[in-house]
Amino acid sequence: MIPRITIAEAGQHVGETVQIAGWLYNLRRSGKIAFPIVRDGYGLMQCVAVKSALPEELFETIKNLTQESSLIVTGKIRAEQRAHGGFEMDVEALEVIQRVPESDPYPITPKDHGVDFLMDHRHLWLRSQRQHAIIRVRHEIIKAVRDYFDSHGFTLVDTPIFTPAACEGTTTLFEVDYFEDEKAFLTQSGQLYNEATAMAFGKTYCFGPTFRAEKSKTRRHLTEFWMVEPEMTYATLDDVKRVAEELIVFIVGRVLENRREELKRLERDVSKLEAIQAPFGRMSYDDAVKILQTKGSEIQWGGDFGGTDETLLTEDQTRPVMVDRFPASFKAFYFQPDPERSDLVLGVDVLAPEGYGEIIGGGQRIHDPELLLKRIHEHNLPVEAFQWYIDLRKYGTVPHGGFGMGIERCVAWMCGLEHIRETIAFPRMLYRLRP
Ligand code: 4AD
Ligand code: MG
């Protein structure tokens, strides 16, 4: 039996005859020699097929292979510094599983395609080297997020996707029919449920898809995105900021440790990521507005930041910036007021450097039942729907807080991407529901 290996394992099999199973990525050839480059999902392997060393029919087959044909190659691994992963395979045998016909060739060729074409062929585009690198960095980020929380005393308690009420405001909800006579909404955030689970477990997190029906057509917005949301009891705004900072430093460290090759393929300037260390910059909303005004922003005190404002605040920063204490007027109902300024709330946004904008939003929650009820009324929310949430304040209430971090925004930043659409396998956006 010839061992089947992945291309990533080639280094452990130098001098041995092994099999790799993959797809034809590219082919160079001359009369006497052919160089099929095979990809298998783990790497690229340049194979060397020499006419004089192979049955004539097989050499002809190899010479005429088409892009993305599936195949199993048997051959001997040889170290070759000039080759892609540092190894080459001398072909001894090759089995074609399916040959892609010339009459209907693989649609994505090495030439430049427009982004709409590529998005329409997203199911195939994922095979390309750049997309492959991005998705691997994404996986690394998700793994690091889980490892961070799992090793810091957080219990994973996932929250529902069908919800009966809004969390971040009612205008941005996707409504669905829930059997005959009820409406449900796709969740915008697991936060309210996290507050219940945190009171049961101390520290919890949920990690899943969330949905926003805002009609934003920007390079930072998806309608479906993945968010990780930790929630901590006996915690204040400062605890929230500390955990946010530690988490980001930890994730960037992991990506640098394990995904160097992918970052290189993406031509990411890794020195920018190496600079991500604690402490991050900290500023109040008040100061942020003043800074923005000196930088020419139109923002007035009391207004929320736009995408451009977020970019302006971080353009000259090498580390993320944490902005806190926002006007209560544009924040959700659940924020704890600032004890020193009743017009402000104890919320925090973490803005990524290099103009990537907000990657984390969170803060301290109201723990006083009367105040919470007052806010629910002020925001015209249906009290009945929030009765269970008010209960959390009636039975052993404590100061608590947490945040949400959007995975795709992190991937875009860490990979240095122009647009969020490449950070998830099948992006859902205002004008994109397919494939
Ligand atoms: O600031 P947001 O709306 O906060 C919440 O949902 C809180 N309830 C979270 C909490 O405290 N548990 O969203 C949090 C993060 C943002 O900072 C951003 O990274 C990401 O989620 N995000 C989006 N990512 C992609 N597309 C969108 N449309 C996003 N909206 C928010
Ligand atoms: Mg936010």
What's the per-residue H, E or C state across 248-267? Answer: HHHHHHHHHHHCHHHHHHCC
How many CB atoms are located within 10 Å of the residue 282 CB? 13
Among the atoms of ligand 1, which is closest to the Cα of residue 191?
A: 12
Among the atoms of ligand 1, which is closest to the Cα of residue 359?
A: 19
**pLDDT > 90 in the chain, percent:** 92
Of 156, 216, 229, nearest to 189 by C-alpha is: 229
- The response to whether residue 195 sits with its C-beta less than 6 Å from ligand 1 reads no
- Contact assessment for residue 291 and residue 313, using Cβ atoms and an 8 Å cutoff: yes
DSSP 135-173: HHHHHHHHHHHHHHHHTTTPEE----SEESS-SS-GGG-
Among the atoms of ligand 1, which is closest to the Cα of residue 332?
A: 8
- The response to whether residue 25 sits with its C-beta less than 6 Å from ligand 1 reads no
Of 98, 97, 121, nearest to 108 by C-alpha is: 121
- Contact assessment for residue 195 and residue 231, using Cβ atoms and an 8 Å cutoff: yes
- The response to whether residue 240 sits with its C-beta less than 6 Å from ligand 1 reads no
For residue 333, what is the enclosing H or E element? none
pLDDT range class, residue 167, cuts 50, 70, 90: low
DSSP state of 383: G
Ligand nearest to the CA of 223: 1
pLDDT range class, residue 378, cuts 50, 70, 90: very high
Give the closest residue (by CA) to ligand 1 atom 17: 360
pLDDT range class, residue 164, cuts 50, 70, 90: confident
**In a mutational test of the pocket of ligand 1, which residue from 409, 410, 419 has the highest number of ligand atoms less than 8 Å from its CB?**
409
Q: 69 C-alpha vs ligand 1 centroid, how far in Å?
A: 41
User: What is the pLDDT averaged over residues 277-286?
Assistant: 98
pTM: predicted TM-score of the whole model, two decimal places = 0.97
Give the closest residue (by CA) to ligand 1 atom 9: 404
The CATH superfamily of 7-98 is Nucleic acid-binding proteins (2.40.50.140)
**pLDDT at 85 > cutoff 90:** no
Q: Where are the beta strands (DSSP E) in 164-239?
A: 175-178, 182-186, 203-211, 224-233
Strand order in the sheet with 175-178: 162-163, 182-186, 175-178
DSSP 410-428: HHHHHHT-S-GGGGSSS--
Per residue in 183-216, pLDDT (tens digit) is: 899 999 999 999 999 999 999 999 999 999 989 8
What residues contact residue 203 under an 8 Å CB cut-off, 6+ apart? Answer: 152, 153, 154, 155, 230, 231, 232, 233
- The response to whether residue 421 sits with its C-beta less than 6 Å from ligand 1 reads no
What residues contact residue 70 under an 8 Å CB cut-off, 6+ apart? Answer: 22, 23, 96, 97, 98
- The response to whether residue 198 sits with its C-beta less than 6 Å from ligand 1 reads no
- The response to whether residue 88 sits with its C-beta less than 6 Å from ligand 1 reads no
Among the atoms of ligand 1, which is closest to the Cα of residue 190?
A: 12
Q: 361 C-alpha vs ligand 2 centroid, how far in Å?
A: 5
- The response to whether residue 406 sits with its C-beta less than 6 Å from ligand 1 reads yes
The residues spanned by each domain of the chain are 7-98, 123-423
DSSP state of 86: S
- Contact assessment for residue 357 and residue 307, using Cβ atoms and an 8 Å cutoff: yes
- The response to whether residue 361 sits with its C-beta less than 6 Å from ligand 1 reads yes
Q: 388 C-alpha vs ligand 1 centroid, how far in Å?
A: 23
Task: Please give the pLDDT value at position 166.
Answer: 62
- The response to whether residue 362 sits with its C-beta less than 6 Å from ligand 1 reads yes
123-423: CATH number? 3.30.930.10
Mean pLDDT score across all residues of the chain? 96
Question: Is 7-98's fold the same as 123-423's?
Answer: no
Per residue in 324-348, pLDDT (tens digit) is: 999 999 999 999 999 999 999 999 9
Give the closest residue (by CA) to ligand 1 atom 29: 221
